[in-house]
Amino acid sequence: MADGMTDLDEGSRPRRRGLVVAVLVTVILVVAALGGRRFGLFGSSSAEGGGGGPGGPGMGQMPPMPVDVDTARQGSVVDAVRASGRIEAVSAVDLRPDEQGRITELLFEEGQAVAAGTPLVRIDDAMLRAQAERASADRDLARQQLERVRRLLADNAASPADLERGEAAARSADAALAVLNLQIERTTVRAPFAGVVGQRFVSAGDYVTTSTRLLTLQTTDPQRAVIEVPERYAADLRRGQTVEFTVAAHPDRVFRASVEFIDPVVQQESRTIVVKARAPNAGGRLKAGMFIEARLATATRPSAVIVPEDAVQPLRTANIVWAVVDGKASRRVVVLGTRSAGVVEIVSGVRAGELVVVGGLERMQEGAPVAPRPRTPAGSDSARAPAAAPASPPAH
């Protein structure tokens, strides 16, 4: 009986193998049939009345890929150089006396606005006045002696040499008196120009010499914005260019100044050029010594082509912008110019009015069908902003 069961098992094995092979062959045929229909190996869907006819894509075509687009626009672009600097008075001086002596009177208050020629400090002049009285008496005596010599010469009682000596003595006496009167005048220190008195360094009763600082005086309107520009921009600097700057005391206000001085010498330590621009300061907001963040406009292009920054795809060797032409993606190698306020200038590669892709750049391929979706510019005004917005030097 055991032998009979063994023979039965051995006879059923070929049938099982045949069944397994049949199942595998059936599965392979089914998979092949499905794959052929998927890839169009057994005809197009149009033969079955599908969407491959007019008005619908065939089963073998990729549908257009939706992408966000924006329009390349024309706008005004300003090339500008950023720099830091300071506010400087147009005229500023530390006043010192011309004569030494003791201060008898201070005629000003710190912070006071004064006109040119206003007396500010008086120094004791009693000794000089006494010397001037003696010099005046010597002058009168010299004049009398000169008149006497002239009368004697008319009577042939004096020689021409006596007349010459008398005239010289009279002129010398006049000069001595003039010197003393000038010294007396200079004991009063006056404002050399109209401005505002700053800090004083002396008090009444102090003894001062010609090297003693008395007070500071500076103009306040207009002021000067002083910046240092790298020497590589030397060829772009011109008088009359506009400098826009801000100060920490008024962070929300932009001040403007006009360039009036360009240093002809490059600073050896920093390799920079000093530029000074005159800024109106009627309200007195700008104080000498303030730190400023400035932007010097060197050139303006009113008809530049501008695209959003996110339309530019930077690669290792080039910058790429994808344009939409006849519903297909077109790869453009572009040259960038000035960047400003979320937009970038396109020097070449894209024309104004063309649609550029701003969303989905990583999926772009040359000639790929796309379905453009206009994006509402976050700053549609940004295309016009570069003229007034801070700009950086051209990108490379």
Q: Phi and psi at residue 164, in whole multiples of 5°?
A: -65, -40
224 residue type, one letter: R
User: pLDDT band for position 25 (50/70/90)?
Assistant: low
Task: Give yes or no for a cis peptide into 222 (omega within 30° of 0).
Answer: yes
What is the predicted pLDDT for the residue at 47? 37
CB 281 within 8 A of CB 223: yes
What is the predicted pLDDT for the residue at 345? 86
What is the predicted pLDDT for the residue at 43? 41
How do strand 370-374 and strand 65-71 relate by DSSP bridges?
A: parallel
The gap between the terminal CA atoms of the chain, to the nearest Å, is: 94
What is the predicted pLDDT for the residue at 266? 93
Q: Is the pLDDT of residue 257 over 70?
A: yes
Name every residue whose Cβ is closer than 8 Å to that of residue 168 and which is 6 or more positions away in sequence: none
Q: Is the pLDDT of residue 387 over 70?
A: no
The runs of H, that is alpha helices, within 155-294 are 160-186
Name every residue whose Cβ is closer than 8 Å to that of residue 195 and which is 6 or more positions away in sequence: 89, 91, 113, 114, 217, 218, 219, 220
Q: Please report, for residues 68, 114, 139, 160, 273, the alpha-carbon distance to residue 144 in angstroms, rounded to integers and kept in the order given.
A: 106, 46, 9, 17, 65
Domains and CATH numbers, the chain: 65-77+300-387 (2.40.420.20), 82-91+220-299 (2.40.30.170), 125-186 (1.10.287)
Angle CA(118)–CA(120)–CA(126) in degrees, nearest 5?
A: 110
Burial class (CB in 10 A: 0-12, 13-18, 19+), 70: buried
213 is written with which tokens? 């600082």
DSSP state of 49: T
pLDDT tens-digit map of 309-362:
888 988 888 898 999 998 888 999 999 888 877 888 888 888 988 899 988 788
Name the least confident of 107-116, 176-185, 279-288, 376-385: 376-385
Strand partners for 121: 106, 189
Stronger pLDDT, 270 or 396, i.e. the higher one:
270
Q: How far is CA 163 from the centre of its chain?
A: 74
Model pTM score: 0.60
CB 388 within 8 A of CB 341: no
What is the predicted pLDDT for the residue at 125? 92
What is the predicted pLDDT for the residue at 381? 43
Stronger pLDDT, 341 or 391, i.e. the higher one:
341
Stronger pLDDT, 25 or 7, i.e. the higher one:
25
Q: Please report, for residues 7, 31, 67, 300, 330, the alpha-carbon distance to residue 34 in angstroms, rounded to integers and kept in the order given.
A: 43, 5, 32, 64, 35
pLDDT tens-digit map of 82-125:
899 999 999 999 999 999 999 999 999 999 999 999 999 999 99
Length of the chain equals 396
The whole-chain average pLDDT of the chain stands at 82
Report the alpha-carbon distance of residue 392 to residue 116 in Å, rounded.
44
What is the predicted pLDDT for the residue at 297? 85
